[in-house]
Structure 1
Amino acid sequence: MYVCICMAVTDEEVRSCIAAGASTIEEVGEACEAGTGCGSCHDHIDVFLEAARQPSELADLPRSA
């Protein structure tokens, strides 16, 4: 799924940037350019950042069935 349409960045790319140490929207943008266009994806990126800071018990479940 695309998180950032302007820069064609997927959710997997955003997760990868966060796993590599990006902890702000700006740092994600520097790593993969997500959020550096119109900015409408900032809320989506923020959800991924918050999920990385506060993992739920669902985080251990497989992503696809």
Structure 2
Amino acid sequence: MYVCICYAVPDGEIKSCIARGARTVDEVGDACGAGTGCGSCHDHIDVFLAAAHAQPDVAALSRSA
């Protein structure tokens, strides 16, 4: 699925940029161009960023709840 229509950047490429260290929308844009056009994909990129960076936090939660 394309996340950035302006530059035809698919979700896999966004995830790859994040896996290689991109931590902000601007850093994703620097890495692959996504989000550097009209900006309508910024919210979608933010979701991928939040999901990628939330995983360690979720793993650290107590399982006793």
TM-score grouping bracket, smaller chain normalisation: 0.7 to 0.9
TM-score normalised by L of structure 2: 0.84
Query: What is the alpha-carbon distance in structure 2 between the residues aligned to residue 51 and residue 33 of structure 1?
Result: 20
TM-score normalised by L of structure 1: 0.84
Aligned length: 57
Q: 1:20 and 2:20 equivalent?
A: yes
Query: What is the alpha-carbon distance in structure 2 between the residues aligned to residue 46 and residue 26 of structure 1?
Result: 10
Name the % identity. 70
User: After TM superposition, where is structure 1 displaced by more than 6 Å over at least 4 residues in a row?
Assistant: none
1:54 partner SS: helix
Query: What is the alpha-carbon distance in structure 1 between the residues aligned to residue 22 and residue 54 of structure 2?
Result: 15
- The residue that corresponds to 1:44 in the other structure is 44
Query: What is the alpha-carbon distance in structure 2 between the residues aligned to residue 31 and residue 19 of structure 1?
Result: 11
Q: Tell me, which stretches of 5 or more residues in structure 2 are unaligned?
A: 60-65
Point out the structure with max Rg over C-alpha.
2
Q: What is the root-mean-square deviation of aligned Cα atoms in Å?
A: 1.2
